[in-house]
Amino acid sequence: MEKSRRESVAQDFQLIGDGFNHRIGLRQANTLRHLTPPGYRLGFVHAARQLLPGCGGRRFRSSMATTEEERLAGNGEGERLDFLRDRHVRFFQRCLQVLPERYSSLETSRLTIAFFALSGLDMLDSLDVVNKDDIIEWIYSLQVLPTEDRSNLNRCGFRGSSYLGIPFNPSKNPGTAHPYDSGHIAMTYTGLSCLVILGDDLSRVNKEACLAGLRALQLEDGSFCAVPEGSENDMRFVYCASCICYMLNNWSGMDMKKAISYIRRSMSYDNGLAQGAGLESHGGSTFCGIASLCLMGKLEEVFSEKELNRIKRWCIMRQQNGYHGRPNKPVDTCYSFWVGATLKLLKIFQYTNFEKNRNYILSTQDRLVGGFAKWPDSHPDALHAYFGICGLSLMEESGICKVHPALNVSTRTSERLLNLHQSWKTKDSKQCSENVHIST
């Protein structure tokens, strides 16, 4: 019985091995990965070696490393791990076309997934693989516009997807009244980002309505809720609000003094920034606070040199090989950006260990389907794939565009945005001159 079972498994592995050699074994490979007992982050090759001593052939090891040494060496022979750019391009393409069932719970945040995919393709200089015009129309259809009586002005912004069944309207007609239709602060941030990434001029964005909706989300303590119906309020949404104001080149969408006060009060006893006052410092919230102040141009006004040095120390202590977000937590791919970008903004990223960080990020790279995972031997996902690439960009990895560490888009996109701002100023100045001429 046991011998028969071993022979059956051996045949399965032989089939998958042959599939790898001919690039046709993906379905069988993914099925076999699930044979590993829950709770064990083991590759299917490791599981096979336990069942079938001696069966872990070279062809398996080249596709799925099983030990830390093999992961860092690539195929067990000690060479530097390669960044598989083309596979990541295809991974992001799939994120825009079809997603696994486990993403279904993120339907209301679909625009965020689109951001990870589009910005990821932009970082890889591969936006030519998508239909930009179609995606731009879809994003504009998610804009919550004012109704004719403007009664919903404080609910405007961008929604995450078409889950409410609102009629398709690519921002060319007035909004439709719906009691549960409102923008979400993170969707407004990612929606505007996607439009700029795709080269849109934001001419159909109702800036006044977006800013009115944003003002309605700010609380008395300076933080922001996600939606007008009420939600958690923390540093994440302060960052989203800062990005929205920066992209629209208009800071009337927030009370900046209150937001700055909230960021200051969120500094913890160990010198990191937390999601709010009195909470635990965290790599993600530290990024959100520091990046927000940089976008405002207020970083050195808010924190003294001594305080900034303490924040720098807290951030630089987050590196082990990759980065973790809190002391005594495991390293995670996404913190290579969250903490790395913070160190970049604080101008000390060059003092970190690039080699260890790069090796960790690439140890989470899926060598079959592309993308990056949270940890080695885990499934890749859109978020970690994007932030893995951004983390590598901070270290100037070949084949990746430079990332703007505060705005979280490519520097090419940030420069396009600045050109947009300049064109708006020129247009406003011209309009003002015409009005003066008419009045005289």
Q: pLDDT category, 348, cuts 50, 70, 90?
A: very high
**The pLDDT value given to residue 179:** 83
In the chain, what are the domains?
A: 2-64 (no CATH), 85-424 (1.50.10.20)
Q: What are the φ and ψ backbone dihedral angles of 146, each rounded to 5 degrees?
A: -65, 140
Give every CB contact of residue 357 below 8 A, 6+ residues apart in sequence.
319, 321, 322, 323, 336, 340, 391, 395
pLDDT in tens, 229-256: 989 999 999 999 999 999 999 999 999 9
Contact 43, 66 (CB under 8 A): yes
Contact 352, 316 (CB under 8 A): yes
Q: Which of 49, 73, 72 is nearest to 60 (CA)?
A: 49
Whole-number percent of the chain with pLDDT over 70: 80
Q: Which of 295, 307, 290, 284 is nearest to 254 (CA)?
A: 295
pLDDT in tens, 90-127: 999 999 999 989 999 999 999 999 999 999 999 999 99
Q: What is the pTM of this model?
A: 0.82
pLDDT in tens, 192-240: 999 999 999 999 999 999 999 999 999 999 999 999 998 999 999 999 9
pLDDT in tens, 122-153: 999 999 999 999 999 999 999 999 999 999 99
Name the 3-class secondary structure at 204.
Answer: coil
**For range 390-412, the mean pLDDT:** 98
Q: Which residue has the tokens 């590598």?
A: 392
Report how far apart, in Å, the C-alpha atoms of 181 and of each of 129, 145, 147 are. Answer: 33, 10, 11
Compute the radius of gyration of the chain from its Cα atoms.
24
**The pLDDT value given to residue 173:** 80
Q: pLDDT category, 428, cuts 50, 70, 90?
A: confident
**The pLDDT value given to residue 51:** 34
**The pLDDT value given to residue 326:** 97
- Kind plus residue range of the DSSP H or E element containing 294: helix 283-296
- Kind plus residue range of the DSSP H or E element containing 29: helix 26-33
pLDDT in tens, 19-42: 333 333 443 344 334 333 333 333
Give every CB contact of residue 188 below 8 A, 6+ residues apart in sequence.
157, 158, 210, 213, 214, 240, 244
**The pLDDT value given to residue 105:** 94
Contact 49, 55 (CB under 8 A): yes
What does the alpha-carbon distance between residue 339 and residue 282 come to, in Å, rounded to a whole number?
A: 9
- Kind plus residue range of the DSSP H or E element containing 224: strand 224-225
What does the alpha-carbon distance between residue 433 and residue 179 come to, in Å, rounded to a whole number?
A: 42
Q: pLDDT category, 160, cuts 50, 70, 90?
A: very high
Say if residue 103 is exposed, middle or buried (CB neighbours under 10 Å; 0-12, 13-18, 19+).
middle
Q: pLDDT category, 344, cuts 50, 70, 90?
A: very high
> Across the strands, what pairs with 299?
none
Phi-psi region of 225 (alpha: psi -120 to 50; beta: other; left: phi over 0): beta
Name the 3-class secondary structure at 163.
Answer: coil
